[in-house]
Chain A
Amino acid sequence: MTLATPVLNPVPPTDAAPVLSVRDLRISFPSEAGTVEAVRGVSFDLLPGRTLGIVGESGSGKSATAMGIMGLLPPSAALRGQVLLGGRDLIGLGDQALSEVRGNSVGMVFQDPLSALTPIFSVGRLLSDALRVHQDLTKRAAWEQAVELLDLVGIPDPRNRATSFPHEFSGGMRQRVVIAMAIANKPSVLVADEPTTALDVTVQAQILDVLRLAQEETGAGLVLITHDLGVVAGHADDVAVMYAGRFVEHAGVEELFRRPTMPYTARLLAAVPTVDGGARRPLVPIGGEPPALVGLPDGCPFASRCAVALDACRSDEPELRHVTGHGHVACLRATEIADGSLDPAGDAAPVDQQATADRTEAGEVVLRVEDLVKTFPVTKGAFLKRRTGTLHAVNRVSFELRAGETLGLVGESGSGKTTTLMEILRLRRPEGGRIEIAGTDVGTVGSGARVRELRQDVQIVMQDPLGALDPRMTVFHLLAEPLRAIGRDRASIRSRVRELLALVGLDDSVSDRFPAALSGGQRQRVGIARALATEPKLLALDEPLSALDVSVQAGVINLLARLKRELGLAYLVVAHDLAVVRYISDRIAVMYLGHIIETGETETLFSDPKHPYTRALLSAIPMPDPLRERTRERVVLEGEQPNAARLPTGCVFVDRCPLYRLADDSVRRRCRTERPVPTPVAGQPGHQYACHGV
Chain B
Amino acid sequence: MVRYVTRKAVGWLLMIVVATNATYFLASWFLDPRSNFKELRPVRSEAQIDRALAPYNLDPRVPLVHRWWDWLTSVTLHFDWGKSPTGVSVNGEVGYRSLISAELVVMATILSVVIGVALGVYTAARQYGWADRVSQAMSIALFNVPTSVAALAVVFVAIWLNQHAGLHFLYVAGENSPGVEGLFPTIGDRLLHLILPTLTLTLMGYVGYHLTQRSLLLDTINADFVRTAQATGLTRSQAIRRHGLRAALIPTAASVAFSVPAIFTGAVITETVFGWNGMGRYFIQTISKNDVHGTVATAAFAAALTAIGAILADIATVFLDPRVRVN
Contacts and interface: CB of A to CB of B under 8 A. Distances in A.
Nearest to B223: A115
Interface string A225-263: 000000000000000000000000000000000000000
Nearest to B128: A76
A633 interface: no
Given A115-B223, A115-B224, A102 B232 contact: yes
Interface string B20-37: 000000000000000000
A70 B224 contact: no
Given A120-B247, A120-B320, A72 B233 contact: no
A116 B247 CA distance: 14
Contacts of B323: 119-120, 165, 167
A179 to B, nearest CB: 12
B235 interface: yes
A182 B224 CA distance: 14
Given A115-B223, A115-B225, A120-B247, A181 B321 contact: no
B232 A72 contact: no
Interface in B253-289: none
Contacts of A165: 322-323
Interface string A122-136: 100000011001100
A101 B232 CA distance: 9
Interface in B199-253: 223-238, 242-243, 246-247
Given A120-B321, A167-B323, A133 B232 contact: yes
B316 to A, nearest CB: 13
Contact of B233 (A115, A117, A120, A133): A133
A568 interface: no
Contacts of A107: 231
Contact of B229 (A70, A112, A118, A167): A118
A117 B225 contact: yes
B231 A182 contact: yes
Given A118-B243, A120-B247, A167-B323, A134 B225 contact: no
B231 A184 contact: no
A110 interface: yes
B235 A120 contact: no
Interface in A75-110: 95-96, 99-104, 107-108, 110
Interface residues of A, number: 33
A178 interface: yes
A187 to B, nearest CB: 10
Contacts of B230: 72, 99, 102
B231 A102 contact: yes
Nearest to A383: B11
Interface residues of B, number: 24
B320 A99 contact: no
A74 to B, nearest CB: 8
Chain B interface secondary structure, helix, strand, loop or mixed? helix
Contacts of A118: 225-226, 228-229, 243, 247
Contacts of A72: 227, 230-231
A68 to B, nearest CB: 13
Nearest to A71: B230
Contacts of B236: 95
Contact of B224 (A95, A99, A103, A116): A116
A673 to B, nearest CB: 35
Contacts of B232: 102-103, 129-130, 133, 181, 184
Contacts of A70: 231
A99 B235 contact: yes
A103 B322 CA distance: 26
Given A115-B223, A115-B224, A108 B322 contact: no
Given A118-B243, A165-B323, A99 B234 contact: yes
| B226, B229, B242, B322: residue with the most chain A Cβ atoms closer than 10 Å | B229
A178 B229 CA distance: 10
A117 B322 CA distance: 15
A114 B232 CA distance: 17
A102 B231 CA distance: 5
Given A116-B225, A116-B228, A165-B323, A103 B233 contact: yes
A181 B227 CA distance: 13
Nearest to B227: A72
A103 B234 CA distance: 9
A95 B246 contact: no
Nearest to B320: A120
Contacts of B223: 115
B228 A178 contact: yes
A102 B239 CA distance: 12
Contacts of B234: 99, 133
Nearest to B237: A95
A307 B234 CA distance: 48
A181 B247 contact: no
Given A99-B235, A103-B231, A110 B320 contact: no
Contacts of A121: 243, 322
A233 B223 CA distance: 31
Contacts of B242: 129
Contacts of A108: 228, 231
Contacts of A182: 231
A110 B231 CA distance: 10
A304 to B, nearest CB: 34
The list of the 10 closest CB pairs from A to B, nearest first, reads: A103-B233, A130-B232, A103-B232, A133-B233, A115-B224, A108-B231, A118-B225, A99-B235, A118-B243, A116-B224
11 contacts: A99-B238, A102-B232, A103-B231, A115-B225, A120-B247, A133-B232, A133-B234, A165-B322, A167-B323, A178-B228, A184-B232
Given A72-B230, A95-B237, 8 more contacts: A99-B230, A100-B233, A102-B233, A108-B231, A118-B247, A119-B225, A133-B234, A181-B231
